[in-house]
C-alpha cells in the first residue's frame, strides 16, 4: 500500500540531462529609476559539440563550478584550478541557439549570490556543468480494501487486478491462483494461530 501521496523520484531510470559549460558571463538587470540590481542573469556557453536540450522556464543546477586562478601572472605549472566549488539553482530565461542559454539566479540564494559576486569581479571558470534535474512524479494509490471492492477491468466482477512479477509464469489463471493461495491461506492461518506468520520450511505450519 503506497498511500495517497507516493513520490517517485526517478520515473524512467534515465540519467539527468547534463552539459559541460565552457564560459559564464554575468548580466545584471537594474531598476531604471534606482539603479539597484533586481535580478542577476548568467549567460552560459557550452563546450564545443555540446547541446543543452533545454527550454525556457525549466529549472537547472549549475554544479561542479571550478575557478581559474585570479592572478594572470603564474607559472605554467601553477595554472591549476583553485577556489571553492558551488552548486547553484537557476531558471532558464532565454535560449541562444542549441549551445548557449541565459539562466536567472534565484534572489537571496547564498550560492547564487556567491557565483554572481565572483563573475562580477571578472573571475573566470575553469569548468562547470549545467544539469536539468529529474522531475518527481506524485501518484495516488487506493488502499487494499478499496481496491478489492473495485471491479476488475473487463470482467465486471469485484476483485483485485494482479500485476505479475514473474513474467515467466504470467499465465492469468496461474497468477490469480497463486495470489488467492497467499491471501486466503494466510488469512486462514492467522485465524487459527493468533495472527502469527507461518515458519518457513515448517511441515507443521
Q: What's the pLDDT at 25? A: 92
Please say whether the dihedral angle defined by the alpha carbons of residues 92, 96, 99 and 102, taken in this order, is positive or negative.
Answer: negative
Please say whether the dihedral angle defined by the alpha carbons of residues 160, 147, 142 and 144, taken in this order, is positive or negative.
Answer: negative
**Which of the four pLDDT bands, split at 50, 70 and 90, describes residue 82?**
very low
pLDDT value at 108 more than 90:
no
Tell me the three cell numbers of residue 21.
559549460
Please say whether the dihedral angle defined by the alpha carbons of residues 86, 91, 94 and 99, taken in this order, is positive or negative.
Answer: positive
**Which of the four pLDDT bands, split at 50, 70 and 90, describes residue 95?**
very high
Q: What's the pLDDT at 75? A: 46
What is the pLDDT of the chain when averaged over all its residues? 80
Tell me the three cell numbers of residue 24.
559564464
From the list 110, 104, 120, 114, the residue with the least C-alpha distance to 38 is 104
**Which of the four pLDDT bands, split at 50, 70 and 90, describes residue 92?**
very high
CATH, domain 6-131, list 2.60.40, 1.20.1630, 3.40.50, 2.40.30? 2.40.30
Counting residues of the chain whose pLDDT is more than 70, the rounded percentage is 75
Q: What's the pLDDT at 13? A: 84
- Locate the domains of the chain by residue range: 6-131, 142-193
Q: What's the pLDDT at 97? A: 92
pLDDT digits (tens, 9 = 90+) for 112-166: 888 888 888 888 888 899 999 888 889 998 887 777 676 666 555 555 566 666 6
How far, in Å, CA of 155 to CA of 134, rounded? 38
Counting residues of the chain whose pLDDT is more than 90, the rounded percentage is 25
- Residue pair 55/95 in contact (Cβ under 8 Å)? The answer is yes
Say whether 83 sits in a helix, a strand or coil.
Answer: strand
pLDDT digits (tens, 9 = 90+) for 155-200: 555 555 666 666 666 666 677 777 777 788 888 888 888 878 889 8
pTM: 0.59
Amino acid at each position: 500500500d503506497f498511500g495517497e501521496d507516493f513520490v517517485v523520484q526517478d520515473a524512467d531510470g534515465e540519467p539527468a540531462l547534463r552539459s559541460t559549460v565552457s564560459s559564464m558571463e554575468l548580466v545584471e538587470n537594474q531598476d531604471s529609476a534606482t539603479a539597484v540590481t533586481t535580478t542577476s542573469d548568467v549567460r552560459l556557453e557550452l563546450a564545443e559539440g555540446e547541446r543543452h536540450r533545454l527550454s525556457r522556464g525549466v529549472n537547472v543546477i549549475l554544479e561542479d563550478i571550478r575557478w581559474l586562478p585570479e592572478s594572470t601572472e603564474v607559472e605554467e605549472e601553477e595554472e591549476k584550478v583553485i577556489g571553492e566549488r558551488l552548486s547553484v539553482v537557476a531558471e532558464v530565461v532565454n535560449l541562444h541557439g542549441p549551445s548557449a542559454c541565459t539562466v536567472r539566479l534565484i534572489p537571496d540564494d547564498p550560492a547564487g549570490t556567491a557565483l554572481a559576486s565572483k563573475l562580477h569581479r571578472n573571475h573566470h571558470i575553469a569548468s562547470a556543468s549545467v544539469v536539468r534535474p529529474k522531475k518527481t512524479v506524485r501518484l495516488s494509490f487506493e488502499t487494499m480494501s478499496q481496491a478489492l471492492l473495485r471491479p476488475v477491468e473487463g470482467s465486471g466482477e469485484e476483485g483485485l487486478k494482479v500485476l505479475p512479477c514473474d513474467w515467466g509464469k504470467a499465465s492469468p489463471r496461474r497468477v490469480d491462483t497463486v495470489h488467492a493461495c497467499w491471501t486466503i491461506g494466510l488469512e486462514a492461518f492467522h485465524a487459527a494461530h493468533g495472527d502469527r506468520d507461518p515458519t518457513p520450511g515448517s511441515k507443521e505450519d
